[in-house]
Every structure is written in structure tokens, then in C-alpha cells.
Amino acid sequence: MSVFTYRNIGTNQMVYVGSPMFDGNPLWELVIGGSGGDITVHEADSTNVHGIVNTAQLETISGAAAQVAAHAADTTSVHGVDDMTVLQTIAGTNTAISTHAGAADPHGDRSFATASIATHAGAADPHGDRAAATAAIATHAGAADPHGDRAYAASTTSTAVTAHSADSDPHGDRSFATSAVSTHAGAADPHSDRSFATSAVSTHAGAADPHGDRAYTDSTLATHAADTTAVHGITDTSVLETTSGTAAAVTAHAGAADPHGDRAYAASLNGGHGSATRFETIPRHAAGANATLTSGTMLLGYFTAPTAHAGVTTITIASGSGTISSGLTLGRLALFSVAGNGDITLLQASTNDTTLLNSGSTVYTGTIASTPLVAGQRYAVGVLTVGSGPGNVRSAASISGLTVLAPTVARAMTGQTDIPTGTTAVGSLTTTANVIYAGVS
């Protein structure tokens, strides 16, 4: 039968647990209270206790709360941030994102992010954190002495510490931690990070212009569109012509009577086919031959009006050095327009002049009513004499085969008693080798 005895040693009370069979010697003793026991010394010790080098450096709960409060109020050099006041709040960020909205999916981020988030959200352990944590906690929980506390306690001479060290879970921390970590590891979203991220990404993906890129791009494009200098390698786009403008210019150019001034220049050359106010059938210096006229046969010389003329009133010809006219009953000059098929239509004719060509190498004129000429239009001047001596006119000698090649430069019309009126078909005209000189002004 066990025997309990008490012994008072100073301020210490000793409890002896013994047995008579051991002559009253106690099997062990436990010091309760007092300042001189091992537990009292252990409790007062502040260094190398339970693996803690110096317990005086530990913080109380209230002290830690104060430190956290002070830390929370600090705005400079916190977590590597120089100034927390320049950071944006969640509400501010949401407001900025809302303001930033506009484009359905300006960068393709929405479709990409939606697919990535869906994959990420559906993964059981997308970052491997759960598996790593579970394995680490399991290893930690299964370790015999993860913090070295047991070895330290076992190394002491205290029976209580030894017993404490022998306890696999003296504070219940292991079982609690194992349960908590297991629950945490099994939770789908333990910190609500997944749901928050999913919501934020969904909001971001649904935003019309989350980064302001659309508005920036629209503004930049508007500025670019309005720019007229140094654009796409063009020094000044204001001097460019549009497609419609070019088409209009080409149409206007094609319809212009003398778009390059060539016609006016050619007409201005003296000694050529005339001037800007005088149009001629052949150059005057080429009129070196005599064309003998036949009574009742009208000779025709052709020309194209190089420019428009407000109205010609004079027809000019010249007699040759051959036989002069005599006994004329009719002497007239006429101006015809020439159709594309060669038909001629009378425009104006001079009055009858029976003295026409009655002197050699002489210039003769006939007056007609003012007749406007159209640039590019083909015209013909006719000379007709009827009488015993019809005379001759200055011309350029050729052959009939050449004079009727397009454009026709000379033709004749036989059997006439006067200038034909109206329109005369080209089939009524004959060929001639004589290209008469005639001018209108």
C-alpha cells in the first residue's frame, strides 16, 4: 500500500510517495509551490526555453495588436512601397475600371482570360499549393520532433519536462493544426481569393475599355486622321487628290479643248497653219504651186480648228502666176463644217465677185457673216468660179490618193452653178491632187 507523507522544508512543501516495503524511502518526490523548486526555476527562466532563445523578445497579444495598428497606419516604406497613399483602393480601382469601360474585348483579353480563368477555377489545385501544403503539413504533423522541442525537453533533468516531452501532442496543437490544415487544404476557396479573382476578372473582361486603350486609340486615330503633314511618308497630304477628284480632273482634262496649250501654241506659230486668230488649210510658205480652176468645179481645202474662235468673218485665198480669170459670171468663197463621215454642211459664203482671181499672184478676200468655230472641229473652205476663164489659185501639189487619206485635206465638187447649200454627202465629192491655200479669220 502506498504511503503519502508531507515534509515542510522552509517555504517548500514536499510530498513523498512511498511504500513500506522500501523502508519508508520514497519512490519519488514532487515539489509543490515555493521558490526553490525546479519548476519555479523553469518558469522564471527566460533563455533557451522550449526552443526559444530569449522569451523576453516575445511580444504579448496586446503589444502585437499595437504593432499591427501602428503598422496599418504607416504609409511610407511599407512592404516595399515608398508611399502607400499613391496606391489605389479596391473601390477606386473599380471606379477606374468602370470609367475605363467601353470595348467588348479590345485586346482579346476577355476570351483568353475567360478560358484561362475557367480552366484555372475548375482545377482542383491550379498552382500545386494544396498538394504541396498537404504534403508539407502531413510531413510536419508526422515528424517526431518538428521543432526540436522534444529533444530539448528530453535533455533536461526535469521529470515534468521529460513527461511533457514524451507527450505526442501535449497542447493539442498537432491534432488541431492537422485538422485545420486538412480543412483548409480541402476548401475550394479558403481565402475567397478564387471567387474575388473570378468576379474581378469577369468584371474586367466585360468592361468595354478596361485599360483605356480604346479611348486612347480612338483619340490617337482621330489626331492621326486630322494630321496632314509627314503622314505615311507623305510630306503634305493636303496637296493629294482624292479618287473622285482625280476622276473629275481626268474627265475635265479629256473634255478640254486645249488642255496642254498645244493647240493654242501651234496656232500661234506664224508661218505655220495660222495663228490664234487665223486658221489655214496649209502653211503659206507651202503654197508654191498653181491649181488651175475648172468652170463649175469647186475646190475644197480642209483644216481643223486648233482652238475655239468667237467668230470668223473673212476668207482669204491667193491667185497663182498662171492664167488669170476672165469672163466670170460667178466668183464665191464658202466655209463648210465637215462631219465625221466626210459630209460637208454650208456655214457661210461670200457674195458674188466676178473680179475674183483676175490678177496674178494676188491675195483675195471674201467677207462672211461672223461664224464661231469649235476647237477640234474639222472645216473646209471652198473656191468656185463660173465663166470662160475660171483662173487659178495658190496650192500645194500632191496626188489624189494622198489627199483623201484621213483626215482629208482636199476634195472637189463638179457641175456646180453656185455654192451648194445644206448638207452635201461625201459621195457627191470627188478626189483632187490640188490642196488649195485658204485661211479664215
Average pLDDT over residues 318-335: 96
pLDDT value at 440 more than 70: yes
197 versus 410: the higher-pLDDT residue is 410
Q: In angstroms, rounded to a whole number, what is the distance separating the alpha carbons of residues 94 and 98?
A: 6
441 versus 99: the higher-pLDDT residue is 441
Q: Give bridge partners of residue 81 from the DSSP assignment.
A: 78
Question: Cell 502653211 sits at which residue?
Answer: 283
Would residue 181 be called left, alpha or beta, if left means φ above 0 and alpha means ψ between -120 and 50 degrees? alpha
Go through the chain and tell me how many residues it has: 441
Express each pLDDT in 356-375 by its tens digit: 999 999 999 999 999 999 99
Q: Which run of H or E residues covers position 110?
A: helix 109-122
Q: pLDDT averaged over the chain?
A: 84
Half-sphere exposure of residue 363: CA atoms within 13 angstroms, side-chain side: 8
Region of poorest pLDDT, from 87-96, 265-274, 427-436: 265-274
Region of poorest pLDDT, from 18-22, 34-38, 134-138, 252-256: 18-22
pLDDT attached to residue 328: 98
Express each pLDDT in 210-258 by its tens digit: 988 889 888 888 888 888 898 888 998 888 888 898 888 888 888 887 6
Query: Where exactly are the structural domains of the chain?
Result: 269-440
Q: In angstroms, rounded to a whole number, what is the distance separating the alpha carbons of residues 13 and 120?
A: 66
277 versus 434: the higher-pLDDT residue is 434
pLDDT value at 272 more than 80: no
Confidence of residue 284 (pLDDT cuts 50, 70, 90): very high
pLDDT value at 29 more than 60: no
pLDDT value at 200 more than 70: yes
Sign of CA dihedral 122, 128, 133, 139: positive
Distant-in-sequence, close-in-space partners of 352: CB < 8 Å, separation ≥ 6: 330, 331, 332
Residue 308: CB atoms within 10 Å: 15
Q: In angstroms, rounded to a whole number, what is the distance separating the alpha carbons of residues 278 and 262?
A: 16
pLDDT attached to residue 262: 65
Confidence of residue 354 (pLDDT cuts 50, 70, 90): very high
Q: In angstroms, rounded to a whole number, what is the distance separating the alpha carbons of residues 336 and 346?
A: 4
Express each pLDDT in 135-163 by its tens digit: 987 898 888 888 887 776 567 656 765 67
List % helix, strand, coil for the chain (3-state, nearest 5). Answer: 35, 30, 35
Pairing of strands 309-318, 363-373: antiparallel
With CA atoms as reference, report the closest residue to 419 among 324, 327, 331.
Answer: 331
Sign of CA dihedral 417, 423, 429, 434: positive
Q: Give bridge partners of residue 385 from the DSSP assignment.
A: 331
Sign of CA dihedral 278, 282, 288, 290: negative
Q: In angstroms, rounded to a whole number, what is the distance separating the alpha carbons of residues 168 and 153?
A: 13
With CA atoms as reference, report the closest residue to 316 among 432, 422, 394, 421.
Answer: 394
Region of poorest pLDDT, from 59-73, 374-388, 422-436: 59-73
pLDDT attached to residue 20: 45
C-alpha pair distances (Å), 363 with each of 79, 210, 223, 284, 358: 113, 92, 72, 12, 11
274 versus 358: the higher-pLDDT residue is 358
SS3 state of residue 400: helix
Average pLDDT over residues 64-81: 90
Q: In angstroms, rounded to a whole number, what is the distance separating the alpha carbons of residues 158 and 49?
A: 13
Percent of the chain with pLDDT over 70: 85
Amino acid at 328: L
Across 102-106, 260-264, 274-278, the highest mean pLDDT is recorded for 102-106
First to last CA, the chain: 164
Region of poorest pLDDT, from 31-45, 181-195, 212-226, 374-388: 31-45
Confidence of residue 47 (pLDDT cuts 50, 70, 90): very high
pLDDT attached to residue 156: 61
Q: What is the CATH topology of the domain spanning 269-440?
A: Jelly Rolls (2.60.120)
Average pLDDT over residues 308-325: 96
pLDDT attached to residue 78: 86
Environment class of 344 (CB within 10 Å of its CB; exposed 0-12, middle 13-18, buried 19+)? buried
Claim: this prediction has a pTM higher than 0.75: no
